[in-house]
Amino acid sequence: MKRAPAFWRRDGLAPRLLAPIATFYGAIAARRLIQSAPRAPLPTIVVGGPTIGGDGKTPLAIAVATRLVAIGARPALITRGYGRSLHGRAPVLVDPASHDARLVGDEALLLARVAPTIVCADRTAGARFAADIGATVLVLDDGFHSRALAPDLALLAIDADYGAGNGSCLPAGPLRAPLDAQLATADALVTIGDGVAGAAVVHGFEKSVFRARLAPDPVVAIGLAGARVVAFAGIARPEKFFRTLREIGAEAVATQAFPDHHVFAPYEIERLYTFAQSHQARLITTEKDAARGANVECLPVKLEFDEPDIIDALLAGVMRAR
């Protein structure tokens, strides 16, 4: 996906014309959500987002792995490695010192900073590999919809500002499967940020709902307060990054959005540098874009739970159950 269409946020002619295809797609996706899946040799926590991208699933997977480490577990993260050039079904243990985003994907590099991360199309093989290297629990980034492994805990990240978009499945809307089917499969929801769209999604959900927010690195944020910046991002919802810069007090001279997972050519970065210098501004991007080869200043963000102790108790219960 290059950029999410604007009509994915609202009803209109385009979603209605695409509704028959969306109904067909949604029916297939809903059936996949309830299909049986093999159990891994380790407790398995699966993280997903209801839409095609930008919900915050990778920050949530990182936060879950961080909390698991804090309670004494040894998590291994498993991901397909979107955009990777290393193919094959054999598991690959990500080494940030020797792998780059072209080889293993940008998200894999971010995950590997927190815990051992395995890139593998075959989740079952990845789970066995994780057990062999001493992991005690698995965290599957974006494994909610694949049903490649049966989850002991299925978490769904909800972007509170975006929610379910216009509520339609692809291609009429952003949903990967009908929302009701996804909520029925989830064990808990994690709403990220504040917004009425997220509140509408969680309203009436009878299982656990946790609240969290993406917090910018405080040291970097202080350094950017009052600074003139030229900001760019190649993520699913770049407006979230631009809004964060404004919230910490940076003055955005200009912003530029690129397609999600965009691999930057040297001339693109040079052009942005030249533009920033001509406006006496600093060039800045997201941590994810920096991992993809945009070797410029970045603003890291971290997902923080409002009630981390309750999350820790939930994760500890998953460990005890197996």
Question: Can you tell me whether residue 224 is helix, strand or coil?
Answer: helix
pLDDT at 1 over 70: no
Q: How many Å apart are CA 219 and CA 224, to the nearest integer? A: 9
pLDDT of residue 170: 97
Residue 300: cis peptide before it, omega within 30 degrees of 0: no
pLDDT of residue 293: 76
Convert the pLDDT of each residue in 116-173 to its tens digit: 999 998 999 999 999 999 999 999 998 899 999 999 999 999 999 999 999 999 999 9
Q: What are phi and psi of 196, to 5 degrees?
A: -70, -30
pLDDT at 224 over 70: yes
Question: Can you tell me whether residue 62 is helix, strand or coil?
Answer: helix
Q: How many Å apart are CA 267 and CA 58, to the nearest integer? A: 29
Q: What would the mean pLDDT of 102-106 be, rounded to a whole number?
A: 91
Give the predicted TM-score (pTM) of the model: 0.95
> All domains of the chain, ordered by start, with CATH?
6-214+304-321 (3.40.50), 218-299 (3.40.50)
pLDDT of residue 185: 97
DSSP string, 71-136: TT--EEEEE--TT-S--SSS-EE--TTT--HHHH-HHHHHHHTTS-EEE-S-HHHHHHHHHHTT-S
Q: What would the mean pLDDT of 219-248 be, rounded to a whole number?
A: 97
pLDDT of residue 2: 59
Candidate from 205-214, 245-254, 287-296 with smallest mean pLDDT = 287-296
pLDDT of residue 295: 81
Q: How many Å apart are CA 176 and CA 32, to the nearest integer? A: 11
Q: What would the mean pLDDT of 42-60 be, rounded to a whole number?
A: 96
pLDDT of residue 129: 97
pLDDT of residue 4: 81
| Cβ neighbours of 200 (radius 10 Å) | 14
